[in-house]
Chains A and B, each alone.
Chain A
Amino acid sequence: MSKALLQNEVIILDELDRQIIQATQSGLPLVPRPYHHVAEDLGVTVKEVIRRMKAMKDTGIIRRIAAVPNHYALGYKGNGMTVWDVPSELVNDLGHKVGVLDFVSHCYHRPRFLPDWPYNLFAMVHAHNRKEALLLVDTIAELLGKHDRGHDVLFSKQILKKTGMRLL
């Protein structure tokens, strides 16, 4: 839980960390020495930039440094938000089991709103089409077995808005 994390882990970022975040949040420069490029812009050494970024990776401020593909461009057109009603006391165990499936990109515990919304476990699945996605839903249902007290899948019809998130 994000609040608890903040309470337990005191992460102190200084001005240079913030400048590094600002310089890289929209992407890494596509030049042979990208961290040198960032360092020069900020007037510090490349070793310092790499050291700071390693530290942010260790504390989880940087989740990972990687490429994020556009699902649709890779032919994944069956993108569904699957939602599950599982017993509250088992949600963590079951969430970990569902989260490691290789067709699940995100898996979260979220609150229920009874009676409108009984689902407390969310897993995003990605398939080439809806038919294939429904087979993945069946795979999750099988994995959950009797703990699946009801589920649904919400396919996206349209992206109404999608912006990059500015962090700082």
Chain B
Amino acid sequence: MDDLDRKIINLLQEGFPLTEEPYADVAKQLGIDESGLLSRLKSLLDEKILSRFGPMYDAAKLGGDFSLVAIKVPKDRFDEVAGIVNSYEEVAHNYHRDHDFNMWYVLATESPEKIHEVNADIEKRIGLKVFNMPKLDEYYIGLKLTA
């Protein structure tokens, strides 16, 4: 990654235009040509320095729902419980965190009702309480990481 890659990452985190030739517009801002920008972007995505590039849709407004769910998993059962939780296609992310509440998963479902169905099913299968912590309000979402 060189300085130009960093400039591209920083600029494209801010946004991307809805114009007929958006890459040419952005390239001009960076003082490079369109094909140069496209090949840089391809590499950044291939090397997974960028995890996504494009429109970010708000799933909740499309009728779907999300929730963050936490479980306190006894150490000796961690792998077994992770296997069960991960087996649900509605579980989009699952993180192991350093805490008594050591498993944190994100559910993404078509409907709010489905969140409760999946959690109830998981709870029954693992025999541990799941703590459903949906967002009640959000104050900022966006990434502002300086490359």
From the candidates B23, B86, B98, B139, name the one contacting A99 in the complex (CB within 8 A).
B139
Instruction: Please report the number of residue pairs spanning A and B whose Cβ atoms sit closer than 8 angstroms.
Output: 241
Give the shortest distance, in Å, between B11 (CB) and chain A (any CB).
9
List B contacts of A60 (CB < 8 A). Answer: 58, 61
- Whether A62 pairs with B137 at a CB distance below 8 angstroms is no
- Whether B50 pairs with A69 at a CB distance below 8 angstroms is yes
Give the number of residues in B that approach A within 8 Å (Cβ atoms).
77
The residue in chain B whose Cβ has the minimal distance to the Cβ of A121 is B139
From the candidates A27, A33, A81, A165, name the one contacting B53 in the complex (CB within 8 A).
A27
List A contacts of B128 (CB < 8 A). Answer: none
- Whether A76 pairs with B16 at a CB distance below 8 angstroms is no
List B contacts of A1 (CB < 8 A). Answer: 135-137
Give the docked Cα–Cα distance between A50 and B25 (Å): 15
Given A35-B18, A69-B143, A98-B139, do A156 and B95 touch, yes or no (CB 8 Å)? yes
- Whether B99 pairs with A107 at a CB distance below 8 angstroms is no
List A contacts of B147 (CB < 8 A). Answer: 69, 74
Given A27-B53, A161-B91, do A6 and B16 touch, yes or no (CB 8 Å)? no
Give the shortest distance, in Å, between B73 (CB) and chain A (any CB).
11
- Whether B98 pairs with A62 at a CB distance below 8 angstroms is no
Given A35-B22, A67-B9, do A74 and B49 touch, yes or no (CB 8 Å)? yes
Give the docked Cα–Cα distance between A26 and B136 (Å): 27
Give the docked Cα–Cα distance between A74 and B97 (Å): 21
- Whether A65 pairs with B47 at a CB distance below 8 angstroms is no
Task: Mark each residue of chain B from 63 to 107: 1 if its CB lies under 8 Å from any CB of chain A, else 0.
Answer: 111101010100000000010011000011111111101011100
Give the docked Cα–Cα distance between A65 and B59 (Å): 15
Beyond A64-B15, A110-B68, 5 additional contacts (C-beta under 8 Å) are A70-B51, A76-B145, A92-B137, A111-B134, A167-B57
Q: Which 7 A-B pairs have the closest CB atoms?
A: A99-B140, A99-B139, A2-B60, A67-B12, A28-B54, A95-B139, A160-B94
Residues of A near any B CB (own CB < 8 A): 1-3, 5-6, 9, 11, 13, 21, 24-28, 30-36, 46, 50, 53-54, 56-57, 59-71, 73-74, 76, 81, 91-92, 95-96, 98-100, 102-111, 113, 116-117, 122, 126, 152, 154-165, 167-168
